[in-house]
Structure 1
Amino acid sequence: MILTVTLNPALDLTYRLPAVRLHAGNRVRDVRQQAGGKGINVARVLAALGRTAIVTGLAGGPTGQALRADLAAAALHDELVEVAGETRRTVAVADDRDTTVFLEPGPPVTAPEWRRFLAHYRRLLPGAAVAVLSGSLPPGLSADAYAVLIGLARAHGVPAVLDADGPALLRALPAGPAVVKPNAHELAAATGTGDPVRGAERLRAAGAAAVVASLGPDGLLAATAEGRWRARPPEALPGNPIGAGDSAVAALALGLADGTPWPERLRRAAALSAATVLAPVAGQYDAGAYRRLLGEVRIEPLEPDGPQSDRPQRTAESRPTPPPRPTAQPRGEP
């Protein structure tokens, strides 16, 4: 079983229309509502892949009740903990060219509610092969909330996959997550470099065992103790990118649970992520495209000490000058 944790879930509304006109009335062609949040999307993908997933986190109010009703309709295992505040909503406006998302902040969580959740989380961990910790933190929780959850998981022998950004990501690294999965923007913001290889190695140096960065249409990059690889889809697929990263997390969690070698784990994550772009809403993927892409994703090993390595590179100016040698002897390399 894979345990997915969504501390700030949402009731997702998706509006589809041919084109969005700013500062004008827009007639919506189609409306979709479902339980959302990154961890819930991961659980949906895992269920579609035939694997058992448990959804836990925090939910409250009428919106939280609607979210839980949708989980029940989808036959997802609901282990959410009730809070007094109202669960947030998100609104995605998708036209034929792009998608714009509006994110509410979520309900404030009190100290007693957090303690109640931690007790519940401890009870769920013994049955978990992997814990997936995803998404933003609701108001009221400290930035070290994920560090606490990773520490508890490790105490139970459960590896954790973390998909977070900002202070929540940085504060969690010393706790030792098995995998962290930032996107390119989150990675650059967390590490101060636009070089994804160097950024990934900096997160590893800070405590992550492995880092997988989502690079949008350019696929995925993995930096691990076993090596570094790029996974590239054969083409950029048009569609809705929302949820593509969550599908990648689902594949990475499965690979961790099953002990799949890293190159194949990355191949599946890239294929599943790309196939999700073709689905209408987050938490779904195009099964036919996934099967096709599995054979078309290119896996490229990266040199351990290549030009993008975080190891300082020695230039001609920085090389030390060799000491003088007798002219009768051949000069060695500096």
Structure 2
Amino acid sequence: MIVTVTPNPALDLTWHVERIVPGGTHRADTGVARAGGKGLNVARVAHAQGAAVLALATAGGPTGDEFAAELASTSIPHELVSVQAATRRSVALVDEHLGDTTIVNERGVNPTADEWDALKAAVVRALATGRSVRDAVEGSGSADAGATAPAGTKRIKPVLVLSGSLPPGAPDDLLPSLIRIGRDAGAIVIADTSGPALLAAADAGATVLKPNAAELAEATGLADPIAGACELLHRGAKLVLLSRGADGMLAVTSDEVVRARLAEPLAGNPTGAGDAAVAACAVLMAQGERKPTALLRRATAWSAAAVLMPVAGEIHASWPELESALIVDSPPLTALSRPSAERTPR
């Protein structure tokens, strides 16, 4: 079971225009409106690839009604916590001439303390359900967490994915408390966030962190991406999957660095690429895979396949061919033993 939590969901609006001209007026065909936010994009991809998922998010106001209606029209299992504030919007303008995408994200409004508590309670329930399903699949005959799986089987854990930004004013302990809920439930916790929340997730012991290069440098102040990843490992993470755009991805653990990339970058819509990478990691880890190279290969392939799709939350069917075409190697591990002293300006 994969449980995704989107603490700051959005109604995603996507328009394709022939060319974006600054200051100009643009005409477009009818756009696409979808229930979005990074956690929901993860759930869409994982669900489409056959994984058992439950997507948790908040919804409120008129945009929340549209958000809930669109999500209800899909087959994705989900639970929405009602909040007073209106769900934010995210606008993506795709320049078809250049293949670039311009994104405008509303910041969102912070839910009340009671609304956050309701979301946390939903996470507790979801992970308890996932644990019971796991025990049944493993043949334990019981939802008892202490039951023993048959010899030769992997002890499969639920996966908790915490993805996306936090609304302004969100409690400082929100992400750490969600990570603690996951760890207390015996779940693997994957966090994809940025800023101070990225460091807080590492300090709280998230299993996997998936920043991009800019987010990592901003959070750690370290210009060297491997040194920045090591900072997160020193704080408590076990694996850092680092998105590097057209340069592919890195997997960094305490004793190895693995790099995966395509020979040539793909043109398209990159808005859901990172979410597809998280989905790949979650799906494989839910199946018992723990090898960084295997996780990296699938994450890089699904990320690339997402670029080929017009909207976030989908991957192209050619992902197996993309995975086969990946160039995978191991860069020098110097930064693991000698963290860089060079810091980026803040």
Alignment of 1:241-260 (within 5 A): 241-260=270-289
CA distance in 2, matches of 1:130, 1:170: 20
CA distance in 2, matches of 1:108, 1:20: 33
1:207-241 CA-to-partner distances (Å, cap 9, x unmatched) read 11111100001111111245220111232000011
Asked whether the equivalents of residues 161 and 253 of structure 1 are also in contact (C-alpha less than 8 Å), the reply is yes
Aligned-residue offset at 1:65: 1.6
CA distance in 1, matches of 2:239, 2:212: 14
Whose Rg is larger?
1
User: Greater shift after overlay, 132-141 or 197-206?
Assistant: 132-141
> Is 2:246 the counterpart of 1:217?
yes
User: Greater shift after overlay, 51-60 or 295-304?
Assistant: 295-304
Partner of 1:26: 26
The AA in structure 2 aligned to 1:262 is P
Of structures 1 and 2, the one scoring higher in RCO (CA 8 A, sep 6+) is 2
The AA in structure 2 aligned to 1:119 is A
Q: Secondary structure at the match of 1:67?
A: helix
> Is 2:336 the counterpart of 1:309?
yes
Partner of 1:145: 174
1:106-131 CA-to-partner distances (Å, cap 9, x unmatched) read 12311111122222221111233100
Partner of 1:328: none
RMSD: 1.5
1:2-27 CA-to-partner distances (Å, cap 9, x unmatched) read 00000110111001111012212111
CA distance in 1, matches of 2:288, 2:248: 22
Partner of 1:40: 40
CA distance in 2, matches of 1:189, 1:139: 18
The change in CA–CA distance for 1:312 and 1:234 in structure 2 (over 3 A counts) is: closer
Q: Secondary structure at the match of 1:193?
A: coil
CA distance in 1, matches of 2:300, 2:118: 37
User: Greater shift after overlay, 87-96 or 295-304?
Assistant: 295-304
1:266-311 CA-to-partner distances (Å, cap 9, x unmatched) read 10110110011010000011112x121111112212344x3x4352
Alignment of 1:87-106 (within 5 A): 87-96=87-96, 97=98, 98-106=100-108
1:26-47 CA-to-partner distances (Å, cap 9, x unmatched) read 1113411111100000001001
Alignment of 1:154-303 (within 5 A): 154-225=183-254, 227-260=256-289, 261-288=291-318, 290-303=319-332
User: Greater shift after overlay, 20-29 or 90-99?
Assistant: 20-29
Output the TM-score relative to the length of structure 1: 0.89
1:93-117 CA-to-partner distances (Å, cap 9, x unmatched) read 1112211111111123111111222
Asked whether the equivalents of residues 276 and 284 of structure 1 are also in contact (C-alpha less than 8 Å), the reply is yes
Asked whether the equivalents of residues 92 and 99 of structure 1 are also in contact (C-alpha less than 8 Å), the reply is yes
Asked whether the equivalents of residues 255 and 336 of structure 2 are also in contact (C-alpha less than 8 Å), the reply is no
**Residue segments in structure 2 that go unaligned for 5+ positions in a row:** 131-157, 341-346
The AA in structure 2 aligned to 1:232 is R
Aligned-residue offset at 1:140: 3.7
CA distance in 1, matches of 2:113, 2:125: 19
Q: Secondary structure at the match of 1:16?
A: strand
CA distance in 1, matches of 2:17, 2:339: 50
Q: How many residues align?
A: 310
CA distance in 1, matches of 2:240, 2:23: 41
CA distance in 2, matches of 1:13, 1:222: 32
Asked whether the equivalents of residues 92 and 101 of structure 1 are also in contact (C-alpha less than 8 Å), the reply is yes
CA distance in 2, matches of 1:199, 1:301: 17
Asked whether the equivalents of residues 109 and 139 of structure 1 are also in contact (C-alpha less than 8 Å), the reply is no
CA distance in 1, matches of 2:187, 2:294: 22
CA distance in 1, matches of 2:87, 2:236: 32
The change in CA–CA distance for 1:299 and 1:127 in structure 2 (over 3 A counts) is: farther
| Identity across the alignment (%) | 46
The change in CA–CA distance for 1:312 and 1:267 in structure 2 (over 3 A counts) is: closer
User: Greater shift after overlay, 52-61 or 35-44?
Assistant: 52-61
